[in-house]
Amino acid sequence: MEMEEDVGDFPIHKAVFDNDLPNLSKFLRKYDVSAKDKHGNTALHIAVMMGRKECVQLLLNHDALVKVKNGLGWTVLAEAVSYGHRPTISSLVRKFRQQSREQMEHRRPNLVTALNKIDNFYMELKWDFQSWVPLVSRILPSDVCKIYKCGSNIRLDTTLVDFSDMRWERGDISFIFRGDAKPNESLTVLDNVGKVYQQVKYEESELEIEDEVDLLMSTDILAAQISTKRISFTRAQSGWIFREDRRELVAGQYDAELYTVHGLTLESRKRREHLSNDDLQKNKAIFDSFTKGGNIADNDNIVPSRRASLTPPPEKNVTWEEYMNAEVNNYPRLGRDLVYKESSKHFKATLAMSSDFPLSVEMLLNVLEVIAPFKHFSKLRDFINFKLPSGFPVKIELPILPTVTAKITFQEFEFRDSISPDMFSVPETYVEDPTRFPDL
């Protein structure tokens, strides 16, 4: 009888480490391609950190997950940008987009079922953005979003098109999700000023992917996350001698209990080992222009030339045994040496929870799932996924960027049978423009 060979605990990882393509091909048929080792690295992490280009392609052909963080909180893509091999970064971006679509399609039937179970409604959400950075606060936008839900269809009307650390864009935008449409026709964005619409595409053009790669290769690698390890909620109190729990009437109609959220830390980490001095100066100039009140969108007309792959970092000569026997998350660096900065900012968020609000938190999460392409909405969804006190969060203050806090108020809600199906279709006078919203 043929003896089973001893391949150790992480055969795929070791095959990548040794750049052993024959064994990697063999092991990929038998073992989990996305397994993590003791440091939280997948085989794909190791392949990109060590510049094993053929291994990367083989792993991606076996559908290795791209959106996965290691024990130090870095994604596969972050490590690939650090190493700087352009074709590898392009392959990862393409695969990540594909996996995101497949994930959404997998969840879609459950989402449509959940939406159909909720009565039709109209809801208003007010966003107020604030910053502790002088000048920035004065120019931050606010927005009232109107959400209509009918059957498995959702429409969101907003004046805030895009929002990121250094840029926002105002407009008059409608985002439409149609649960009964074919997947590649289910998401549409209307620009009601320009009278154009764009299907949120399922296939990105090569040009868009290469533009994204240029951006990744010329800016800081950022990892910002809200740490919730020590999060807790306490009732907000008022009064000097006789302390009592504070209540508030939110939007003039929802009796709410006020809570203070403790232990909310925004951990922000930056890496820039892949950037040249020229890149650093350009990025600083952009940021300086922003803090003086300019809008970064003004610089969008600069057409960058395509970034070339970086010179690979010197071979580190770390052995597999040294890597595996190292303390957890304290292994020798496998790729380019880090140029690294981290900061953490503690936030005291406040929260108003009401049992008067007619929608449940679970229903709200289903609605937010659909409109997650908007970055600030995905932050709201992440927060609501925490274990909140009982009731519905009618008012929330939470950090959405290292320098920006959002106050979100659910200011109106009513169940409505009179919502017209026409609201979920593109007006005949609108013209399709597939490039109107490059970030969607």
How confident is residue 104, by pLDDT bands cut at 50, 70 and 90?
A: confident
Residues 310 and 83 sit within 8 Å (Cβ to Cβ): yes
φ/ψ of 195, rounded to 5, equals: 55, 45
Highest mean pLDDT out of 63-77, 141-155, 177-191: 63-77
Residue 98 has pLDDT above 80, yes or no: yes
Secondary structure (3-state) at 350: strand
pLDDT of residue 262: 87
What tokens does 376 get?
């600030």
CA dist 5 → 27, 222, 257 (Å): 12, 42, 62
CATH number for the domain formed by residue range(s) 118-266+343-432: 2.50.20
Residues paired with 58 in a beta bridge? none
Residues 209 and 90 sit within 8 Å (Cβ to Cβ): yes
Q: How many CB atoms lie within 10 A of CB 22?
A: 8
Residue 413 has pLDDT above 50, yes or no: yes
pLDDT of residue 416: 94
Residue 105 has pLDDT above 80, yes or no: yes
Taken as a whole, the chain contains a residue count of 440
Alpha-carbon distance 440 to 163, whole Å?
12
Alpha-carbon distance 83 to 311, whole Å?
9
Residues 81 and 221 sit within 8 Å (Cβ to Cβ): yes
Residue 187 or 240, more confident: 187
Kindly write down the DSSP assignment for every residue of 269-312, as one continuous string: EEE-TT--HHHHHHHHHHHHHHHTT--GGGGGG--PPPPPPPPP
Element spanning 41, H or E: none
**From-to residues of CATH 1.25.40.20 in the chain:** 11-100
**From-to residues of CATH 2.50.20 in the chain:** 118-266+343-432
Residues 432 and 191 sit within 8 Å (Cβ to Cβ): no
Mean pLDDT score, 8-34: 95
Share of the chain above pLDDT 90, in %: 48
The rounded mean pLDDT for the chain is 85
pTM exceeding 0.85: no
Residues 274 and 221 sit within 8 Å (Cβ to Cβ): yes
**What is the amino acid identity at position 365?**
L
Burial 249-260 (b: 16+ CB within 10 A, else e): ebbeebebbbbb
pLDDT of residue 227: 72
DSSP H stretches of helix in 118-188: 136-139
pLDDT of residue 242: 60
In this predicted model, what pLDDT tens digit does every residue of 261-298 receive, in sequence order?
A: 888 887 889 999 999 999 888 888 877 765 555 444 44
Mean pLDDT score, 415-430: 93
The CATH class of 11-100 is mainly alpha
Share of the chain above pLDDT 70, in %: 85
Sign of the torsion angle spanned by Cα atoms 69, 75, 76, 79: negative
Highest mean pLDDT out of 92-96, 234-238, 373-377: 92-96
pLDDT of residue 144: 87
pLDDT of residue 240: 60
How confident is residue 88, by pLDDT bands cut at 50, 70 and 90?
A: very high
Mean pLDDT score, 8-17: 94
Highest mean pLDDT out of 30-34, 240-244, 281-285: 30-34
Alpha-carbon distance 152 to 130, whole Å?
34
Alpha-carbon distance 429 to 406, whole Å?
35
pLDDT of residue 298: 42
pLDDT of residue 51: 97
In this predicted model, what pLDDT tens digit does every residue of 349-399 receive, in sequence order?
A: 889 999 999 999 988 888 888 776 666 677 788 888 878 899 999 999 887
What tokens does 32 get?
């989990």
pLDDT of residue 377: 76
How confident is residue 220, by pLDDT bands cut at 50, 70 and 90?
A: very high
Residue 186 has pLDDT above 60, yes or no: yes
Mean pLDDT score, 101-107: 84
pLDDT of residue 201: 67
In this predicted model, what pLDDT tens digit does every residue of 133-173 receive, in sequence order?
A: 665 555 666 788 999 999 999 999 988 765 554 456 667 88
Residues 134 and 404 sit within 8 Å (Cβ to Cβ): no
Highest mean pLDDT out of 41-50, 124-133, 151-160, 185-194: 41-50
